[in-house]
């Protein structure tokens, strides 16, 4: 049986890397003594599948992880709390649900992400005009380094939505939906395309989306808020959603 877990990464732990978080999860699952399935072979590893990497330094209330269990059975109600207790402060489990057999891996299924991005030292009016210009533009060309070579890319097709949320103490907050296929566009690339002088502040992933014919859905929606999540995170999640 596979479980899909949705969790948040907020506060100081945002400075851990994707690899760090994977190791933290392995330890947490062993601590909760969940019967995780292990790979066969010379060095058995727990069967975990993480979704799209979150950049070091970014927060999120929409991180996912699929865990394969050795057996089947109902998901205990208190599992999110038990997992949160085994994780460091700032990593909190928001929801857990069994995954239907044959479900696509997170890496393949997810088509876009929504982000909030703080831009430092920028006022809301200027932000509005940058956003309007970007939405009106036919192309948004950026140059990036790839294997030591400069490559140019048009980000416009990947920019699915963009708007201004409002001012923050240090600047202004934008929200953006960026497609993840064929490659995940980073929020820093978006800012560079808006204006190369912009400085990124706090970034938070608020949603990952799976595009279907009948509309888009989340890999694991938070409909069961707030009952099944830790008190701390449910507040944050409510604020975001």
Partner 1 sequence: MTSLWPRLEPLLPHVQKPARYIGCEDGAVTPEHGPGKVAWLLVYPDTYEIGLPNQGLQILYEILNERPDAVAERSYAPWTDLEAKLRERGIPLFSVDTHRAAGEFDVLAFNLSAELVYTNLLNCIDLAGVPVRAADRAPEHPIVVAGGHCTFNPEPVADFIDAAVIGDGEEVVSEITERVREWKAGGRTPGSRQRLLRDLASVPGVYVPSMYEPVYDGERLVAIEPRFPDVPERVEKRTIADLGDWPYPKRQLVPLTEVVHDRLNVEVFRGCTRGCRFCQAGMITRPVRERPADQVRTMVLDGLRRTGYDEVSLTSLSSADFSGIEGVVADVVDQPAGCGNVSISLPSLRVDAFTVGIASQIQRARRTGLTFAPEAGTWRMRQIINKLIREEDLYGAVESAYSQGWRRVKLYFMTGLPSETDQDTLGIAELARNVVAIGRRHNKHASATVSVGGFVPKPHTPFQWFGQNTAAELHRKVGLLRDELRRERGVQLKWHDPKASLAEGIASRGDRRVGAAIEHVWRHGGTFQEWSEHFDLGLWEEAMAANGLSIDWYVHRHRTEDEVLPWDHISAGLHKDFLWQDWQDALHELGVEDCRWTPCYDCGVCTGYSIEHVVASPVPPAGGSQGTGQDLATGGERPAHLLGTRAVPVTIGARPA
DSSP code per residue over 33-70: T--B-B--SSS--B-EEE-SPPPTT-EEEEEEEEEEBS
Helix (H) or strand (E) holding 9: strand 2-9
Site for partner 1 in 149-168 (CB under 8 A): none
Helix/strand/coil for 186? coil
Distance from C-alpha of 205 to C-alpha of 63, rounded to nearest angstrom: 8
| Residue 27 binding partner 1, by CB under 8 A | yes
Q: Figure out which of the listed residues 18, 20, 181, 216 binds partner 1, where binding follows CB under 8 A.
A: 20
| Residue 38 binding partner 1, by CB under 8 A | yes
Q: How far is the CB of 220 from partner 1 (least distance, A)?
A: 24
Span near partner 1 by CB under 8 A; candidates 29-37, 127-135, 137-145, 189-197: 29-37
Site for partner 1 in 83-122 (CB under 8 A): 86, 88-90
CB closer to partner 1, 41 vs 215: 41
Closest to 218 measured CA to CA, from 60, 80, 68: 60
Site for partner 1 in 174-213 (CB under 8 A): 200
CB contact at 8 A, 48 and 5: no
Give the residues lining the site for partner 1 (CB under 8 A).
Answer: 12-13, 15-17, 19-20, 23-24, 26-31, 33, 35-36, 38, 42-44, 56-57, 86, 88-90, 200
């Amino acid at each position: 049986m596979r479980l899909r877990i949705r969790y948040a990464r907020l506060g100081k732990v945002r400075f851990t890397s994707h690899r760090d978080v994977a190791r933290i999860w392995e330890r947490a699952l062993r601590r909760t003594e969940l019967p995780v399935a292990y790979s066969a072979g010379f060095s058995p590893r727990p069967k975990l599948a993480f979704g799209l990497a979150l950049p070091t330094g970014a927060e999120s209330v929409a991180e996912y992880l699929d865990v394969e269990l050795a057996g089947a059975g109902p998901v205990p109600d208190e599992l999110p709390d038990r997992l949160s207790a085994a994780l460091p402060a700032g990593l909190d489990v928001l929801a857990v649900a069994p995954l239907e057999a044959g479900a696509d891996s997170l890496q393949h299924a997810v088509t876009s992400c929504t982000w909030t991005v703080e831009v430092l030292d920028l006022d809301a009016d200027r932000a509005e005009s940058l956003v309007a210009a970007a939405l009106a533009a036919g192309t948004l060309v950026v140059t990036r380094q790839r294997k030591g070579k400069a490559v140019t890319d048009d980000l416009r097709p990947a920019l699915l939505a963009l708007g201004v949320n409002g001012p923050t103490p240090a600047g202004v907050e934008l929200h953006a939906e960026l497609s993840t296929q064929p490659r995940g566009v980073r929020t820093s690339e978006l800012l560079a395309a808006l204006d190369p002088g912009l400085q990124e502040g706090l970034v938070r992933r608020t949603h990952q989306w799976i595009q279907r014919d009948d509309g888009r859905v989340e890999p694991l929606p938070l409909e069961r808020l707030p009952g099944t999540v830790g008190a701390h995170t449910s507040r944050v999640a409510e604020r975001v959603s």
